[in-house]
C-alpha cells in the first residue's frame, strides 16, 4: 500500500533531483500527480488537454513484482522518476521527435516495437518493451544517479541514450 505521506516524500525527493538536473521546468512542475485507489499499473495519462501522473495506492503490477521473480523491485521514487520521464517526453515532445532521439533510441518515441532484452543495449528488461519505456527507464536511472552513469551502463548503446538525456536537459 502506498500512502499519501510516502508519495509526498518520494515526490519531494524526485522533484529536488529533477530541479538540480534542470528538468523541473514550470511545465513539468504543473504536471499533477494523483494517488488513485487501485490500478493494474502506474501511469502517465492524458485527459485530452494535459497529462498527469497516476500512482495507484494498490498496484497489481507491484504485487507481481513482489511475488514473482523476474520483476525487479522498483522503489516508489523509481516509479515516480519513470513517470516523470513520460511527462518530460510529452511536454518537450518537439525535442523528442528529433533525429537525435532516433539515433540514440533506434526508433521514434511512439514506436511500439519491442526487442529482446540485452543488457548491452537496455538499462532494464522493461526498457526493451518499447521506445517510450526505454526512454523512461533510462531517464529513471539518469535522475536516480544524478546524471552520473553507473559502471554497468557504460556500453556504447546506453551511453548514447544517456547523453541524449543530458543534452535534452540543456535545451529545455
Ligand atoms: Zn512507462
Tell me, in angstroms, the distance from the centre of ligand 1 to residue 147's CA.
20
Q: What is the pLDDT of residues 122-150, one digit of tens each?
A: 999 999 999 999 999 999 999 999 999 99
102 class by beta-carbon count within 10 Å (0-12 exposed, 13-18 middle, 19+ buried): middle
Tell me, in angstroms, the distance from the centre of ligand 1 to residue 82's CA.
6
Tell me, in angstroms, the distance from the centre of ligand 1 to residue 143's CA.
15
Tell me, in angstroms, the distance from the centre of ligand 1 to residue 53's CA.
11
In the block, cell 511475488 appears at 67
Residues in the chain: 172
pTM of the entire predicted model: 0.93
Cα 153 to Cα 121: distance, rounded to the nearest angstrom: 9
- Give the pLDDT of residue 35: 93
Tell me, in angstroms, the distance from the centre of ligand 1 to residue 43's CA.
6
Handedness of CA 149, 10, 76, 169 (dihedral sign): negative
Tell me, in angstroms, the distance from the centre of ligand 1 to residue 59's CA.
14
Q: In DSSP terms, which residues pair with 38 in a beta bridge?
A: 58
What DSSP element (H or E) covers 96? helix 93-96
Q: What is the mean pLDDT of the chain?
A: 91
Side-chain-side CA neighbours of 60 within 13 Å: the count stands at 4
Boundaries of every domain in the chain: 4-171
Amino acid at each position: 500500500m502506498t500512502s499519501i505521506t510516502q508519495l509526498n516524500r518520494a515526490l519531494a525527493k524526485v522533484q529536488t533531483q529533477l530541479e538540480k538536473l534542470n528538468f523541473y521546468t514550470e511545465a513539468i512542475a504543473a504536471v499533477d500527480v494523483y494517488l488513485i485507489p487501485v490500478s493494474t499499473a502506474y501511469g502517465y495519462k492524458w485527459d485530452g488537454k494535459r497529462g498527469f501522473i497516476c500512482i495507484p495506492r494498490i498496484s497489481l503490477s507491484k504485487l507481481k513484482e513482489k511475488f514473482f521473480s523476474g520483476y525487479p523491485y522498483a522503489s516508489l521514487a523509481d516509479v515516480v522518476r519513470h513517470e516523470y520521464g513520460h511527462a518530460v517526453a510529452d511536454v518537450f515532445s518537439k525535442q523528442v521527435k528529433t533525429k537525435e532521439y532516433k539515433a540514440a533510441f533506434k526508433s521514434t518515441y511512439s514506436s511500439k516495437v519491442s526487442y529482446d532484452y540485452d543488457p548491452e543495449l537496455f538499462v532494464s528488461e522493461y526498457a526493451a518493451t518499447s521506445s517510450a519505456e526505454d526512454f523512461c527507464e533510462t531517464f529513471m536511472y539518469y535522475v536516480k544517479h544524478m546524471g552520473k552513469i553507473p559502471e554497468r551502463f557504460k556500453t556504447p548503446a546506453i551511453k548514447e541514450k544517456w547523453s541524449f538525456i543530458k543534452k535534452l536537459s540543456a535545451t529545455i
